[in-house]
Amino acid sequence: MASKTKKKGKRKGNIQNLVQYQNTTPEQRREWASKAGKASQAKARERKTLANELIAILSSKNYNKRISTALVKKAAKGDTYAFITIRDTIGEKPIEKVANADCKLEDLLKDIK
């Protein structure tokens, strides 16, 4: 049997390597903020790309019709999640109706004043 040996080297999780933010120089803070901002932008681009790809796939062929048909079939078999998805998609969500009614009431009250 071959013995397993652990690699020795710099450990990333070492507490002695931690640096408190307040003990860093303004240059280090700017550098860290820049790195964080760049990573955040890259992740946002990745999410946007995925969303665009999904929209492109759904708009081609008859995917919307297939998905809608599958949802209706699942709801007819008793799948409450499918029913809720259909209800919310067609604008019959109870919470939204109450919120919309409140907005309309406020608009009416403004008009009366």
- Name the residue with higher pLDDT: 51 or 5: 51
pTM: 0.38
Nearest to 58 by CA among 18, 12, 50, 24: 50
pLDDT for the residue numbered 1: 47
- Name the residue with higher pLDDT: 8 or 82: 82
Over residues 9-21, mean pLDDT: 71
Domain boundaries, the chain: 26-60, 65-113
Task: Read off the pLDDT of residues 27-72 as tens digits, 9 standing for 90 and up.
Answer: 988 998 899 999 998 888 787 887 888 888 887 777 888 888 899 9
pLDDT for the residue numbered 96: 57
3-state helix, strand, coil in the chain (%, to 5): 75, 0, 25
Cα distance between the two ends of the chain: 88
Over residues 78-91, mean pLDDT: 88
pLDDT for the residue numbered 94: 73
